[in-house]
Structure 1
Amino acid sequence: MKTFKYFITGLLGLLLVTSCQDDTADVGDITAPSNVVITTEIVGTDANNPNGDGSGTVNFKVNADNALAYHFVYNGETTLAPQGEMTYDFAITGLQTYTVTVIAYGTGGNSTSKTVQLEVLALYEAPADLLDMLVGNTSKTWRIKSESAHFGLGPVGGGVFAEWFSAGAETKAGTGMYDDRYVFNADGTFTHITNGTVFGRENLINEIGGPGDGTADGADILNYSYGDYTEGWSLNAPGGIETLSLTGLGFMGYYTGGNHKYEIFARSASEMTLRTTDGNGEFDWWFVLTSDDGSEPTAFVSEFNNLSWSDEFDTDGAPDSAKWGYDIGAGGWGNNEVQTYTNESANAIVEGGFLKINAIKDGDMYTSARLKSQGLYDFTYGRVDVRAKLPASAGTWPAIWMLGANFETIGWPTSGEIDIMEQTGGDKNSILGTFHWLDSGTNTNASYGETATENTSTTDFHIYSLEWTTDKVIVLIDNVPYTTLANNADLPFNADFFLILNIAMGGTLGGDIDAAFTQDTMEIDYVRVYQ
């Protein structure tokens, strides 16, 4: 495959500002704008970095008297900027001089223009695996991943996917989102195939200049008429965060205005999670895109095939003490859970080839069990398979998960957590796969997870799996991946973890417990670890 360099950005120096035209005369109601003022912000400028942080990002803002609209002209491309604001990521490696012209339009089509000239040193080169992910050999078609949690919003600067709202599988069908296709071409152009309509935010979506015939649904505008178009795309990494920028009014998923920059929060060969701030500075919007075409997935092939540890639960009685210990106590250590964990046979027993973890109502209390391999079997990297059938009662919160073996020393979430399977107490047709770690910037819990639909989780056995390598952590159900996190040296997922099996009651994910609840069970056929 060729190696391409796309709109690579760098350090900036402002050289001069010149006026190309000054049509300021008034003719009745036909008025040309006057007093055109362009301000520039070199991102990351400080005493130690007078030319910016090396991202090469420059924010432009223009004001003019009597101006009704603004256009920015760069490299032969004219782009409408409704609010008089534009951001460019300059492109050519080395020290180069760039010219950007702003045209302010007044009544009667009269205009006034002004030009700034910038000297740019380009430093950033996108990694080859990122380019290959986006483009492939020549181009690759992307779409919103509608089959699972794929779209939502949260606070500006938040680190949790769709913290305040997350759209579930197919819940935005018929809005003008799911039939859109996005192509990142090798020549640096971005093609958005809209199939006639798009989806966006009220007021902001008017920036794209469509006919405005969409349907209002709260603050959303559904099926806003808008044709296919082509813009440019570029990559940079301000603050070390890989960022995908679209020129002009290019967008993906849901029109939010703003600077048309999408931070790449997570990525794999065929999937990426993006975050962008809307033009109102009100929310961060999150999107999951996939390059899979939606057809039946091909069989996943594990990198691991040597069985290194297992429990087949083929001896009746108490769980094997050489493999499993217990957490014992009330409240589950957080999350407002209400159960008391015990090591009693009523709550955990092996019968007929299955481990049975029983959650039981005992008067006004609930008892359950939490088994763990801590100190008995800890491991780094590999494949975990757990074949299980989940409890069906409202309020039960079953989990198959892992904690860093250094948990007791450094605490959570610094130790890291891998949730191979969780199920809420109120939705027994879905399962969750989630990763937790410490966000060093905010010193708070960071997490990433997705949801898979499984309508028979409480009536049939399914295999809940983890594929864990140095560069990725994948959660699967019946060998179909549904949650993938790109692993790296800054994350805690490169050290020993131990296994945990439990049922919690109530709490954050358990929710309200059925008033008629007496007892329910998670049955586990086997636990196997391959390395």
Structure 2
Amino acid sequence: MKNIKYTLISCLAVLFVVLGCEEEDAVFGDVIAPSNLVVTADVVGQDASNPNGDGSGVVTLSASADNAISYKFIYNGTESSAPSGTVDALFTNLGVNTYVVNVIAYGTGGVSTTTSITVDVLATYTPPQELVDKLIGDGTKVWRLKSETPGHFGLGPVGGGVVSEWYGAGPQEKVGVGMYDDRFIFGNDGTFTHITNINNEDASGTIFGRGGLVSEIGQGGTPNGDDVENVPYNDYTESFVIIAPGGVETINLGGLGFISYYTGSHSYEIFDRSVPNEIILKTTDANNDFDWWFILTSEDESSGGEFNSVFNDLVWSDEFDVDGAPDAANWTYDLGAGGWGNQESQTYTDNAENVIIEDGFLKITAKANGNSYTSARIKSEGLYDFTYGRAEIRAKLPSSVGTWPAIWMLGSDYQTNTWPACGEIDIMEQKGQDKNTVLSTVHHPAVSPGAGDSASTQLTTSTTEFHLYSVEWTAQSITFLVDNEVFHTIENSANLPFHSDFFFILNVAMGGTLGGTIDPNFTEDSMEVDYVRVYQ
């Protein structure tokens, strides 16, 4: 009914304008039809061996004309408006097919010029059913940006493999910009519906986009640096298709369709879909400046986004409920100075002043010792290791500047398969100069030494309250959580070293590459651990 209402109002408005302007001459300026309309088609993957493309069905259509201000491409039942004159068109009928593409160039005053071309395109890809089921469901599944999760929206380098590597929005950081009230529905009939404000009864809403690009689809809004917030924009429906150019699963939206933040791109690589009810997408903006990252969820906001583990059987734990030295059946020690290549300042000992269980907590204490420092590093090497599972460690961190607490795991074959080839899983680390943030990282030969696949999350009470640090480790993915909230996930592919046994390490370092400058007034500080548990 709302469309009838809008149509009636629009007609009355037009009638009013016509009647009210009878005595005035309208001035539109020169009305010039576009001329010299030229259209080209670049079939993706086309070469001498593949004259009809690589099978993805993607064709870049480009149009140019004198005196044109916008273009429309009509092909295979789809209409795509393109002010820039370029669209990535999709032709998904399997096999080699010949398609007619009609192109309209619009000039001033609405005058237009039309031409058409034909293009032969090969399409060979059928998406896996599990992906179709996850994305579409019964055709009514509703997706949203997972605004409660750190890094749900962000950017990084073009071609990067780390989610929101350069910037990741904190939980609810972008409230009020026209993003969190968007909803997305992928229909069984190949339609993509973008609801621009789920809270409005009508089709009106606002969107969020990149300055210089979002003006392609909407005017107005509030500029904020390089972004434009709350651009007025109504609900719309476009087409979508799942393709796999170069073997990479990709969602390609028709026309000017987009997800959450307008970048001028309409193609979204599926970076990770291993987490239930969640999908991580990335797209390169039309300026080729950045990759933009999006974590979407199909859970309602009322669900709280609680993580559902696939591991529920407790197979090993240390509750630290017996006072004294750590249980020798579970823990041994690394001893000595230097931090094994990290330029640390402490010497590790097994002395009670550096490591002890008291009142139900393991306490690892770093202490000033004249001009040097002592601390402890305990490990389960040779006593307990495992492959795949969920590890949970409840801990409170030291607050002193220069302390570097770490809860991590190392590949058990590290002596023969030397680091980084053995792999490293850092469940929690904290920099010495930033006590309001915690990190989770994996190290392996593709990103190390000197780097890691890492993400951080804000945790302002890390040194005053206990928090639960967890890793969910499967053959398909490694997921890091704080207090059961996911903030970092990587794909665990076959060429990574995370398919064999790892053991635990708990320590507090001083200074070094992550600890940085130590407070000159430092005397001592502790990391307290309530328990370590493993579920499989």
Give the TM-score category using the shorter length. Answer: 0.7 to 0.9
2:254 is matched with 247
**Residues 35 and 113, structure 2, Cα contact 8 Å, conserved in 1:** yes
Q: CA deviation at 1:333?
A: 4.5
Q: 1:207 aligns with which of 211, 216, 228?
A: 216
2:330 is matched with 323
Q: Distance in 2 between matches of 1:58 and 1:298?
A: 38
1:97 is matched with 98
Q: CA deviation at 1:154?
A: 1.5
2:82 is matched with 81
SS in 1 for 2:302: coil
Q: 1:217 aligns with which of 218, 224, 239?
A: 224
Of 146-155 and 486-495, deviating more is: 486-495
SS in 2 for 1:126: coil
| Structure 2 residue 69 is matched with structure 1 residue 68 | yes
Aligned residue identity for 1:198: I
Matches for 1:426-441 after TM superposition, within 5 Å = 428-439=435-446
Q: Distance in 1 between matches of 2:418 and 2:58?
A: 38
Of 499-508 and 134-143, deviating more is: 499-508
Alpha-carbon spacing, 1:118–1:413, altered in 2? closer, same or farther (3 Å): farther
Matches for 1:108-507 after TM superposition, within 5 Å = 108-147=109-148, 148-195=150-197, 196-208=205-217, 210=218, 212-258=219-265, 260-267=266-273, 268-297=275-304, 302-330=309-337, 332-333=339-340, 338-425=345-432, 428-439=435-446, 447=453, 449=455, 451=457, 454=459, 456-479=461-484, 481-506=486-511
Identity, in percent, stands at 59
Alpha-carbon spacing, 1:387–1:164, altered in 2? closer, same or farther (3 Å): closer
Q: Distance in 1 between matches of 2:418 and 2:128?
A: 34
SS in 2 for 1:31: coil
Alpha-carbon spacing, 1:154–1:385, altered in 2? closer, same or farther (3 Å): closer
Alpha-carbon spacing, 1:101–1:297, altered in 2? closer, same or farther (3 Å): same
**Residues 335 and 349, structure 2, Cα contact 8 Å, conserved in 1:** yes
**Residues 426 and 511, structure 1, Cα contact 8 Å, conserved in 2:** yes
Q: CA deviation at 1:431?
A: 4.0
**Residues 297 and 480, structure 1, Cα contact 8 Å, conserved in 2:** no
Alpha-carbon spacing, 1:33–1:364, altered in 2? closer, same or farther (3 Å): farther
SS in 2 for 1:134: helix
Consecutive unaligned residues in structure 1, runs of 5 or more: 1-27
Q: Distance in 2 between matches of 1:92 and 1:404?
A: 47
Q: Could you list the per-position Cα deviations for residues 379-436 of structure 1 after superposition, in whole angstroms to 9, with x for gaps in the alignment?
A: 1112323232222334433222222233444455543333323344455455444444
Alpha-carbon spacing, 1:444–1:342, altered in 2? closer, same or farther (3 Å): closer
Q: Distance in 1 between matches of 2:239 and 2:358?
A: 62
| Structure 2 residue 533 is matched with structure 1 residue 528 | yes
When the two structures are aligned, how many residues end up with a matched partner? Answer: 499
Alpha-carbon spacing, 1:423–1:200, altered in 2? closer, same or farther (3 Å): same
Aligned residue identity for 2:81: L
Q: Distance in 1 between matches of 2:514 and 2:214?
A: 35
SS in 1 for 2:134: helix
Runs of 4+ in structure 1 deviating by more than 6 angstroms, as ranges, are none
Of 220-229 and 361-370, deviating more is: 361-370
Q: Distance in 2 between matches of 1:52 and 1:289?
A: 31
Alpha-carbon spacing, 1:289–1:510, altered in 2? closer, same or farther (3 Å): farther
SS in 2 for 1:141: coil
Q: TM-score, normalised by structure 2?
A: 0.83
Q: CA deviation at 1:133?
A: 1.8
**Residues 438 and 445, structure 1, Cα contact 8 Å, conserved in 2:** no
Q: CA deviation at 1:105?
A: 2.3
Query: Where is the strand percentage greater, Structure 1 or Structure 2?
Result: 1
SS in 2 for 1:133: helix
**Residues 202 and 219, structure 1, Cα contact 8 Å, conserved in 2:** yes
SS in 2 for 1:132: helix
Q: Distance in 2 between matches of 1:289 and 1:528?
A: 30
Of 69-78 and 174-183, deviating more is: 69-78
Aligned residue identity for 1:499: F
SS in 1 for 2:71: strand
**Residues 159 and 446, structure 1, Cα contact 8 Å, conserved in 2:** no
Q: CA deviation at 1:92?
A: 1.9
Q: CA deviation at 1:205?
A: 0.8
1:518 is matched with 523
The Cα RMSD (Å) is 3.0
Which one has a bigger Cα radius of gyration?
A: 2
